[in-house]
Structure 1
Amino acid sequence: MQETYRPFYSHQLGHDVEMLVFGDWGYPIVVFPTSRGRYYEAKDFKLVESVQWFIENKKIKLYCIDSVDAHTWYAKHLHPAERVQNHMRYDAMISQELVPMLQRECSVDKIGVAGCSFGGYQALNFAFRHPDQVAYLFAMGAAYDMRQFMDGYYDENFYYNNPPDYMPNAQNDHFYQMNIVLGTAEHDFCKPSTLQMSDILNHKGIRHWLDIRPGSHDWPVWRDMFPHYLSQI
């Protein structure tokens, strides 16, 4: 399985972004790490290994991107408004720098995004903020309401990065073209948030797969989910 370390400079963030790429050809899937996770996390926890067949058979190409959580949602030393603004710079890096790179490299119009736990929030929020760029969304074991990170603060920027708030009012034809999987487990503490998001999508008539499996909030469940989801592409 080909593995390449691919850092690149982000003008949006003003520093290098580290990334591991698995495979040399295939449909591009961006994998976001969990809370404060790094670009090598999916490899270390064998999420990449769970989909090795798809990579080696050139079905997919995985782009495991770094996070900037220490400067965004988890940056307790910053004012909540600044945390959200930093997250929006990260979002702009993905949308304006990483996605165009993948579109050129893989000859696609849209990409796939995936993530476990906090990475699932990152994947879903990016997909719903930029539905014209995303064809596949695989969110596993995620919670989607970010109010817990805001110390009671609320502004417009936060609204547009908190999916339970903005999605009921969001309108975009691309939502109805997207292939969406919301995965959770019976004993996952994030299950209520996943059910809430599924209800929001149902009310909007947005087709998706709500997948509830045995287990809890942990990597073995997500390693079981991910290859199954990729097989749907």
Structure 2
Amino acid sequence: MSARVELPIPGVDATLGVVRHGHFGRPMLVFPSEAGHAEDFAGNGMLDAIGDLVESGRVTLFCVDSLDGWSWSASDQPTEERARRHRLYHAWLEQSVLPHIAFEMGGWQSEIITFGVSMGAYHAVHFTLQRADVAPLAIGLSGNYDPSTWRGWGDIGDATYFANPMAYVRGAEGDHLNWLRSRASLLLVVGQGPFEWEPTKSYPSTLAFADVLREKGITHQLDVWGHDSAHDWPWWHRPLAHHLPRFV
């Protein structure tokens, strides 16, 4: 594991951290669960689950902090304000994290995979849909892809719409839709066990979002696991180890 690197958040006097695992291979941008940290991936056994891929140089992981505590998880703020705050996180990913990955990897030798669990799955999918030019493949485990359902309140406007994959993919058309069809590929994995239904709504949201992707002709795969598959780290080891080898 490399040392934690602090990268500046554009326009504010603050930083968020990135931790690298691996020395070669396809880069993977890893988001933690809600309000999580860059160290959570390794700390919860996910790195061990794919250690052979990292050690053999097939994939390099760039694990990032979240900003959820200030944005999507800030329950004292209306949904629209949370969505506006999320823009700052997206700016950090684009302006600080992407250049960091390019520098660490010696340029863009291969396209980025995005990966996340729970709210991190939303971040992975949303980032790929926004930046499929550099990160065309997203893997989301146990995600809810409709931020308007996240314990929100207040009127919803453009900020929420353009941060909501369920909404903006449904509304995509013309050249933009054609671009998504040509570039983006999403793998959505969800279980049917504890906490995948309530309170996370990951199961119904994942199936509903897969329906929207199908209707729009965007490349995707839906993988539904059984009732023993919980919304928790020990289960997330299994689908990651199952799916990742075919992409790296």
Verify same fold: TM over 0.5: yes
Give the unaligned 5+ runs of structure 1: none
Matched, 1:75 2:104: no
> 1:180 maps to what in 2?
186
Q: How far 1:111 moved relative to its partner?
A: 1.2
Hey, what does 2:40 align to over in structure 1?
41
Give the equivalent residue in structure 2 for 1:228: 242
- Segments of 4+ in structure 1 off by > 4 A? none
Report if aligned partners of 1:116, 1:140 keep a CA contact under 8 Å in 2: yes
Question: How far apart in 2 are the matches of 1:177 and 1:4?
Answer: 33
Structure 1 vs Structure 2 CA RMSD: 1.7
> Which residue matches 1:111?
112
- Are residues 1:134 and 2:135 paired? yes
**2:211 aligned partner, one-letter code:** D
Q: Which of 139, 149, 159 does residue 157 from structure 1 map onto?
A: 159
Judge which range, 203-212 or 147-156, deviates more.
147-156
SS in 1 for 2:36: coil
The secondary structure found in structure 2 opposite 1:21 is strand
Helix, strand or coil at the partner of 1:36 = coil
Provide the rounded CA distance (Å) in 1 between the counterparts of 2:182 and 2:144.
22
SS at match of 2:38: coil
SS at match of 1:82: helix
Query: Does structure 2 retain, via aligned residues, the 8 Å contact 1:3–1:22?
Result: yes
Cα pair 1:73 1:149 within 8 Å, conserved:
no
Paired with 2:151 and 2:87, the residues of 1 have a C-alpha distance of 15
CA distance in 2, matches of 1:13, 1:210: 39
SS in 2 for 1:153: coil
Runs of 5+ consecutive residues of structure 2 not aligned to the other structure: none
| 1:195 pairs with 2:195 | no
Q: CA deviation at 1:82?
A: 2.7
**TM-score (norm. length: structure 2):** 0.87
Tell me which amino acid in the other structure corresponds to 2:157.
D
User: How many Å apart are 1:125 and its aligned residue?
Assistant: 1.1
Structure 1 residues 83 and 143: CA distance shift in structure 2, 3 A: same
- Residues of 2 paired with 1:111 and 1:65: CA distance? 14
Do the aligned residues in 2 keep the contact of 1:32 with 1:120 (CA within 8 Å)? yes
**Cα 1:79–1:14 shift into 2, 3 Å:** farther
Between the aligned residues of both structures, percent identity stands at: 26
8 Å CA contact 2:170–2:216 kept in 1: the answer is yes
Residues 1:79 and 1:143: Cα distance change in structure 2 (over 3 Å)? closer
In structure 2, C-alpha distance between the alignment counterparts of 1:165 and 1:192, rounded to whole Å: 15
* Cα distance in 2 for residues equivalent to 1:200 and 1:174: 13
Query: What per-residue deviation string (whole Å, max 9, x for no partner) do you get for residues 116-162 of structure 1?
Result: 01100111111112222212210001111111343032010110001
Counterpart in the other structure of 2:231: 217
* TM-score under structure 1 length normalisation: 0.92
CA distance in 1, matches of 2:12, 2:31: 17
Query: CA, structure 1 residues 13+113, in 2 after alignment: closer, same or farther (shift >3 Å)?
Result: farther
Aligned equivalent of 2:145: 144
The equivalent residue for 1:28 is 27
The alpha-carbon deviation at position 94 of structure 1 amounts to 0.6
SS of 2:74 mapped into structure 1: coil
Q: Tell me, yes or no, if the aligned pair for 1:13 and 1:90 is still in contact at 8 Å.
A: no
Per-residue deviation, 1:115: 0.3
**Cα distance, 1:134–1:175 mapped onto 2, change above 3 Å:** farther
The count of corresponding residues between Structure 1 and Structure 2 is 232
Q: Which moved more, 1:194-203 or 1:75-84?
A: 75-84
